[in-house]
Structure 1
Amino acid sequence: MNLGFIGFGEAAFEIASGLKKYESLMVTAYDPLWNVEEFSSLILKRANEANATLVEFPELVLGEVDAVIVAVPADKALDVSKQLKPYIKNELIYIDVSASGPDIKKEIALNVNEKGGKFVDAAMMGPLPVYKHQVPILASGDGTDIFLDLMKNYEMNMTKVSNTPGEATAVKLIRSIHMKGIAALYLELLEAAHEFNVEKLVIDSISETMNGRSFEETMNRLVTGTSIHALRRSVELGGTIDMLDTANVDSIMSQAAKVKLERLADFNLREKFKGEKPEHWQQVIEACKVVS
């Protein structure tokens, strides 16, 4: 099995270093910074540590491998696919692991398919330094089944989403609403709690509320309850914002939440559900679609 990498930054290095124990796997890599003085020594060091053959031109990778993992910044991924397009051979598996959006992934897939290649949209769902090649990966696109079969002997942790490019990335980006958003929310909460010297009381109170149920149960309860109490809760948040502003604590997350609740209140779901909390969050989402 011959595997290639275009871009040999941290992501590619961690995957390749995890795969180096497999003698049957040959790795070839190209990085555009290989001859840039500030980065060349690091790239060479990474290639040596991962037992990867470093080449000077990207076409030297694509001409030798069965599959290529393209690990470039999200804003470069489409342009890179255009640059690589003349060198894509028939049946090459082109795996894009960038955080580009679903529409970009579809454009990249078209570039690959036009040359007879197969495309995989791969969304890495965990920390690479911890998992290396076994990082959980969601994959979609017409090359997914073939890539899973090629890598079945190398203990990679991949799950197929669909044959549609962009759907794997959509999962990751939507998940980020929570993972990045909740971190920002925690920062605001902790800044406020510290300012008022009530950290332990706040954390203990929230822990008691959150720890008794699963994430899904808690999410469902919060969304369904808020659907009929959105206006009241937005008003309560207004009091929180006033308190934070008076204490000179940044309230941007609370302000955003207040706006979201006000928009939800505009749907008048309390009347639609006749004052009764719906059973499932999906009822709330569908009701908002109907009203809009």
Structure 2
Amino acid sequence: MTVIAVLGLGEAGGRFAADLVAAGATVRGYDPRVAAPQGVHQGKTGAEACAGADLVLSVNSAADALDALEQGLPGCAPGTVWAELNTAAPAVKEAAERIAGARAVVADVAIMAPVPPKGLGTAMTASGPGGRRFADLLGPFGTPIEVLDGPVGLAATRKLLRSVFYKGLAAAAIEALEAAEAAGLRDWLAGNIAAELIKADAATLDRLVTGSRTHAVRRGHEMQAAADLLDGLGVPARVARASRDWLKDLEA
């Protein structure tokens, strides 16, 4: 029977641990702040939770990733797969590989969608020396895993590049809607944004990029005017000014 340790039992880690128990795995968990879900054997320390595990899922914040590794590593037998699921920069994943040394085989794992809707069914991408073994161990429990042929840090790079777009898009929507609320136009703008998202297609990206380069000067002035509008409405124009600055850089 596969033994899996889960370090970090918050929203994502707790859901993974509970799903693994339901799927028949032996699960050991550790989190200094959160009690383990039912059926998870709670360790008193990270090392105790990792003892005897074939696979360790480190599901912590980026700031806690290396600390969790140092706490759990003494409990790992050589060859244990240490899966870094933390949303951290590639440099953090690379540091984890150096710290693990010969004690564990590190897999850089990027969780590619929010966890709560699907739990173990959430898509993941893995790279590094432990990537394939990670997929072999976790895949049978229903997790769709794309294994990249590349080093630790490659999966994190893909995840964070997507984050620049998706989180940036979310920030732009929030800023625009906050301003629209202040102007008494939230319903109108929300409908406009929804309509644009619905009609987007494969050519939309090219139009966005090409149009910005072609009309950088005019659009830069437009975004300065938008920032001025937001100032008048009392809404921080963070995205508007960042857009203005990018357009300035794109001027021919």
TM-score normalised by the chain length of structure 2:
0.90
Q: How far apart, CA to CA, are the structure 2 residues paired with 1:80 and 1:202?
A: 44
Q: Which residue does 1:232 correspond to in 2?
A: 218
For residue 240 of structure 1, what is the amino acid of its counterpart? A
| 1:75-224 correspondence runs (5 A) | 75-112=63-100, 114-214=101-201, 216-224=202-210
Q: Note if contact 2:4-2:55 (Cα within 8 Å) is conserved in structure 1.
A: yes
Q: How far apart, CA to CA, are the structure 1 residues paired with 2:194 and 2:28?
A: 49
Q: Which residue does 2:4 correspond to in 1?
A: 3
Tell me by how many angstroms 1:261 deviates: 0.7
Q: How far apart, CA to CA, are the structure 1 residues paired with 2:240 and 2:178?
A: 12
For residue 148 of structure 1, what is the amino acid of its counterpart? A
Q: How far apart, CA to CA, are the structure 2 residues paired with 1:153 and 1:205?
A: 43
Q: How far apart, CA to CA, are the structure 2 residues paired with 1:83 and 1:207?
A: 46
Tell me by how many angstroms 1:201 deviates: 4.1
Larger Rg: 1
Q: Which residue does 2:43 correspond to in 1?
A: 55
Q: What is the SS of the residue equivalent to 2:117?
A: helix
Q: How far apart, CA to CA, are the structure 2 residues paired with 1:70 and 1:209?
A: 39
Tell me by how many angstroms 1:85 deviates: 3.7
Q: Which residue does 1:263 correspond to in 2?
A: 249
Q: What is the SS of the residue equivalent to 2:234?
A: coil
Q: How far apart, CA to CA, are the structure 2 residues paired with 1:66 and 1:247?
A: 56
Q: How far apart, CA to CA, are the structure 2 residues paired with 1:79 and 1:62?
A: 14
TM-score normalised by the chain length of structure 1:
0.78
For residue 11 of structure 2, what is the amino acid of its counterpart? E
Q: Note if contact 2:19-2:119 (Cα within 8 Å) is conserved in structure 1.
A: yes
For residue 91 of structure 2, what is the amino acid of its counterpart? D
Q: Note if contact 2:49-2:75 (Cα within 8 Å) is conserved in structure 1.
A: no
Q: How far apart, CA to CA, are the structure 2 residues paired with 1:174 and 1:56?
A: 37
Tell me by how many angstroms 1:75 deviates: 0.7
Q: Which residue does 1:279 correspond to in 2?
A: none
Tell me by how many angstroms 1:203 deviates: 4.1
Could you tell me which runs of 5 or more consecutive residues in structure 1 were left unpaired when the two chains were aligned: 34-38, 269-292
Q: How far apart, CA to CA, are the structure 2 residues paired with 1:80 and 1:206?
A: 41
Task: Report whether the alignment pairs 1:29 with 2:29.
Answer: yes
| Percent identity (aligned) | 26
CA RMSD of aligned residues (A): 2.1
Q: How far apart, CA to CA, are the structure 2 residues paired with 1:151 and 1:205?
A: 42
Tell me by how many angstroms 1:208 deviates: 4.7
Q: Which residue does 1:281 correspond to in 2?
A: none
Q: How far apart, CA to CA, are the structure 1 residues paired with 2:110 and 2:69?
A: 17
Tell me by how many angstroms 1:21 deviates: 2.3
Tell me by how many angstroms 1:206 deviates: 4.5
Could you tell me which runs of 5 or more consecutive residues in structure 2 were left unpaired when the two chains were aligned: none
Classify 1:55/1:200 alpha carbon distance in 2 versus 1 (closer, same or farther; 3 Å): closer
For residue 112 of structure 2, what is the amino acid of its counterpart? M
